[in-house]
Amino acid sequence: MKKSDSVVSMRKVCKSFPLEMGGEQQVLFDIDIDIRVGEFVAIMGPSGSGKSTCMNIIGALDSATSGVYELYGRDITTMDADELARVRNEYIGFVFQNFNLLPKRSVLDNVMLPLMYRGLPMSERVRRAREMLKLVGLEKFETYLPTQLSGGMKQRVAIARALAGDPKIILADEPTGALDSKMGNEILKFFEKLNRDLGITIIMITHEFDIASYAHRIIHIYDGHIAYDGPVPKSESVLTKSEARVHKK
Ligand code: ADP
Ligand code: MG
């Protein structure tokens, strides 16, 4: 693998959280992950297995307790908060289960948000936000408030917002978790399209095999360890079986 192809490179990444009564809880154990430009990866695993913790590290929202993490070949373990914010803003678009839209701001304002720190003139921000809304098929809804939209539409606004900053990577944490299956499938088809047509690297967290199957690769996390990392298997039982290996190590 050429260094320049690497989006995510984790070596022996561990994460612990301090416990209120003293001591700590280790949540991630020696995680090694390599993700290349243009991949569509699903991070799967049961609730509490450490998926969101892993994604927060990937997205530079949190840092590893130990190990090395390089994003686009840059060691971000040692960056301060300002530098991390810059890296996030430059490379990553986030999509969350609960959309994280500002409820009292219009759809257009919400999509313009990541452009605030780019030093672009207002007219350019509006132009770009409208272009993104068109891409997700919501150009007619720019004056609406998020509360007036269905869940699927809200998630499309959130995707337009993620795309407005021209990210190299979309990081999505349970993006269909709050949607019915029809809307969920629409969102996933959209991710497929972004990955195929625009070459955006997609890293998506889910605990559902059907959802993960849209990706080209599954990383299955179990109790903070990688139990499986490979192509989407024919059935979920392959992943479930891989869990047994974790505690044999
Ligand atoms: P998942 O996304 O797979 O459901 P998480 O990564 O959210 O799992 O959580 C894994 C474990 O880490 C859980 O036991 C959770 O309680 C703990 N955890 C996650 N975030 C924190 C935090 N900020 N402080 C303390 N414990 C945390
Ligand atoms: Mg989670």
242 close to ligand 1 (CB < 6 Angstrom):
no
CA distances, 110 to each of 54, 154, 179, 210 (Å): 26, 10, 20, 30
Handedness of CA 181, 183, 184, 186 (dihedral sign): positive
pTM of the model: 0.93
CA angle 163, 165, 167 (to 5 degrees): 70
Q: Both ends of the chain: CA-CA distance in Å?
A: 28
147 close to ligand 1 (CB < 6 Angstrom):
no
Q: Output the domain CATH number for residue 11.
A: 3.40.50.300
47 close to ligand 1 (CB < 6 Angstrom):
yes
User: Which ligand 1 atom minimizes the distance to the CA of 25?
Assistant: 26
Q: Which domain holds residue 97?
A: 3-248
Per-residue confidence in pLDDT tens, the chain, 249 aa? 555 689 999 999 999 999 999 999 999 999 999 999 999 999 999 999 999 999 999 999 999 999 999 999 889 887 888 888 888 988 999 999 999 999 999 999 999 988 887 778 999 999 999 999 999 999 999 999 999 999 999 999 999 999 998 999 999 999 999 899 998 998 999 999 999 999 999 999 999 999 999 999 999 999 999 999 999 999 999 999 999 988 875
Nearest ligand, CA 43: 1
| Cα–ligand 1 centroid distance for 137 (angstroms) | 35
- Domain count for the chain, please give it: 1
- Residue 138, pLDDT score: 95
Q: Sheet holding 169-173: strands in order across?
A: 92-96, 169-173, 201-205, 40-44, 217-222, 225-230
Q: Are residues 108 and 143 in contact, defined by beta-carbon separation less than 8 angstroms? A: yes
Ion ligand 2 neighbours, Cβ < 5 Å: 52
48 close to ligand 1 (CB < 6 Angstrom):
yes
User: Which ligand 1 atom minimizes the distance to the CA of 62?
Assistant: 23
**Alpha helices, DSSP H, located in 92-225:** 107-112, 122-135, 151-164, 181-198, 209-212
**What is the distance between the alpha carbons of residues 223 and 161, in angstroms, rounded to a whole number?**
33
User: Which ligand 1 atom minimizes the distance to the CA of 56?
Assistant: 6
**What is the distance between the alpha carbons of residues 218 and 241, in angstroms, rounded to a whole number?**
14
Q: Whose CA is nearest to atom 27 of ligand 1?
A: 17
Residues 234-238: contacts with CB under 8 Å, at least 24 apart: 236/209
CA distances, 8 to each of 32, 61, 108 (Å): 10, 14, 31
- Residue 36, pLDDT score: 96
Handedness of CA 154, 158, 164, 170 (dihedral sign): negative
53 close to ligand 1 (CB < 6 Angstrom):
yes
**Alpha helices, DSSP H, located in 65-180:** 81-91, 107-112, 122-135, 151-164
51 close to ligand 1 (CB < 6 Angstrom):
yes
28 close to ligand 1 (CB < 6 Angstrom):
no
Strand partners, 202: 40, 170
- Residue 3, pLDDT score: 56
Helix (H, G, I), strand (E, B) or coil at 200: coil
